[in-house]
Amino acid sequence: MVKLIDMHCDTITGLYDRRIKEGSVENLRKNSMHLDIEKLKKGNYMLQNFAIFQSLKKHENMFEDSIKYIDYFYQEMEANRDCISMVRAYDDIIRNEKEGKISALLTIEEGAEVEGKLEFLRTFYRLGVRMITLTWNYENGIGYPNFHYEEGKTPDMKSRNTIDGLTPFGISFVEEMERLGIIIDVSHLSDAGFYDVLRYTKKPFVASHSNAMHCCNNCRNLTDDMIRRLSERGGVTGINFCPSFLDEVPMEDERKAYASVEKMIVHISHLKKVGGIDCIGLGTDFDGIEGNLEIKDASYMQMLVEGLEKAGFTSVEIEAICYKNVLRVYREILK
């Protein structure tokens, strides 16, 4: 089986929220969600990114609440230390691989969790955060998303924000991320913000869970020019399994959409054509998405490998997509 690295899931956030709101006793070892340790083993995962996510409109004390989620992440790492271990640097990944353990990378999916303070960013780094998605679906003091989102209203997912980029604080933020060795993630960020990241940074960055706009006109996906620029910088975009990011469907039919391996390969093929094989990775968005998934959970991930083989991708290309491209970025940034 081919090794796997997945740049984005919301499992830790989901487990914690279920415990607090519903009294759930499910844990990372085994649960009813898309992803747990048993499923990771079956899927042959080398590394999984675990995102701490909070909605800016639902949390008043973003930094304080993030500490609660991170504490829960640490509890799960301790409880499962026999088979999974947190990583802070590239060498930790290699050590875990030799010891037969899955690696866990801690990330944040909403830059607002720093509450506009670089000292909070540095604190997150000390706690082990090694990737931050600059924005989610709201303006947050760092930058702007690619669409205007209001709770209870259907957003326009085709009109891209080419005007509002990084704020002055956002520029300082990405520069400090790069200095520290935290991977910059531009998924959710406006098009203007993407080009500002290019302008104000030098190292590779990622779109941890974004697809190709050419194959699905959704503003969460990357334009061809963005794919080329990301590739030229040495970055990677992670294929998102969300059905409406893979195939253009009306919002009212979104829950009926089907995320098939075939559709994923359409996006992967286009990314290869535009940016080359080295810019493609995986960013499933497991436990952060809904809908009908052919790859039902992490244990089924080798289905994508089989689909790529049938589509004519070579073993070298498949390994690049499944883990080597992302590992290259981690090797460069995570010192």
The whole-chain average pLDDT of the chain stands at 96
Q: What is the distance in angstroms between the CA of the first residue and the CA of the last residue of the chain?
A: 28
pLDDT at 255 over 70: no
Q: Can you give the pLDDT at residue 254?
A: 63
Q: What is the mean pLDDT of residues 37-62?
A: 95
What residues are paired with 63 via a beta bridge?
A: none
Q: How confident is the model at residue 252 (pLDDT cuts 50, 70, 90)?
A: low
pTM: 0.96
Long-range CB pairs of 144-148, under 8 A, 24+ apart, other chains included: 144/189, 144/190, 144/192, 144/193, 145/188, 145/189, 145/190, 146/188, 146/189, 146/190, 146/191, 146/219, 146/220, 147/219
CATH number at residue 126: 3.20.20.140
CA distance 63 to 112: 8
- Buried-exposed string 304-335: b where 16+ CB fall within 10 A, e elsewhere: bbebbeeeebeeebbbbbbbbbbbbbbeebbe
* Both tokens assigned to 121: 């960013």
Lowest mean pLDDT among 11-25, 46-60, 81-95, 148-162: 148-162
Domain count, the chain: 1
pLDDT at 44 over 90: yes
**Tens digit of pLDDT for each residue in 78-109?**
999 999 999 999 999 999 999 999 999 999 99
Other C-beta atoms lying within 10 Å of the C-beta of residue 147: 18
Q: Which domain holds residue 230?
A: 4-333
